[in-house]
Amino acid sequence: MKTAGRIYLAFIIFFLYLPIAVMIMMGFNRSPFYQLPFQFTLHWYSVLRDNTQLITAGWNSVFVAVATTIIATTLGTMAAVALSRSTFRGRNVLRILLLPPIAIPWLITGTAMLVLFYWTGIGRGFHAMLIGHVALAIPYVVLVVGTGLQTIQTDLEEAAMSLGSTPLHAFFSVTLPLLYPSIVGAGLFAFAVSLDQFVISYFLATPGFTTLPVQIYSAIRKGFEPDINAISTILLLSSMALFLIFAIFVRPGGKVDKR
């Protein structure tokens, strides 16, 4: 039974990572038509260096993702603390309302945001795209940070306050350091959601500012080039490096690995 389970798990992992492995490999293949046998080359990375549209779109995606991470993590953490530590009318309703934005298809969400932004005069552009990315990332932050708050005992803050600490000082000196791994994990979720977001960016972007997913979609419609594999590989490995660093230094359950 254990052997069958391991084989099944290995099959699932193989199925998930095979397309990524093929994409990375073809970014180093000499043939532009993915012909075999495989011939290693860095030609497509050299071509990417001269492709200003892809590079600019890549930096735009990183910039939007970093801004989304900062804003969504800050607002989401504050919301998670309020939902966890405060008692007020409608709290359970607010918790329930956090789930639909995650479950609703992004196509519907993007259409709704486009209509709302035109109706309110916000329009399209970087500011509208940032608002859309933050709105999609906040529910993930609230869920991750809220889960982390449930693992922290409130009597630690009460002990600090019994020794003369104010509630605000007790939170920042006791709870926040224990919550740090959850906040970092939530920030990584927000970064990944923003970096990968296509629908919201496609609906709300203007011709002068596009993100990498939108640019790749436009390029594929004209004809696929292997330099797309190259920049996708760079962003993929960079994102995986961030998650690996987090996994190495932070253990599940909110404990920091200091070894």
Give the tens place of pLDDT for each residue, 193-236.
Answer: 898 888 888 888 887 788 888 888 887 777 667 778 888 888 88
3-state class (DSSP) for residue 256:
strand
Decide which of 182 and 170 is more confident: 182
* Buried-exposed string 119-142: b where 16+ CB fall within 10 A, e elsewhere: eeeeebebebbbbbbbbbbbbbbb
- Could you tell me which of 7, 255, 19, 259 has the C-alpha nearest to residue 151? 255
How is residue 251 annotated by DSSP?
A: E
Work out the angle at residue 151's Cα, subtended by the Cα atoms of residues 148 and 156, and round it to the nearest 5 degrees: 110
pLDDT of 6 above 80: yes
Mean pLDDT on 70-96: 84
pLDDT of 49 above 80: yes
Q: How confident is the model at residue 250 (pLDDT cuts 50, 70, 90)?
A: low
* Alpha carbon 15 to its chain's center: 22
pLDDT of 255 above 60: no
For residue 64, how many other CB atoms are within 10 A of its CB?
24
Give the helix ranges, DSSP H, for 197-258. Answer: 199-204, 212-222, 227-249
What percent of the chain is predicted at pLDDT more than 70? 94
Mean pLDDT on 91-117: 83
pLDDT of 258 above 70: no
Distances (CA, A) of 251 to 70, 92, 145, 240, 258: 23, 30, 15, 17, 10
Q: What is the mean pLDDT of the chain?
A: 82
What pLDDT shows up at residue 251? 55
163 is written with which tokens? 């020794």
For tokens 């000196």, the residue is: 173
For tokens 């804003």, the residue is: 71
42-256: CATH topology is MetI-like fold (1.10.3720)
Q: How many CA atoms lie within 13 A of 29 on its CB side?
A: 18
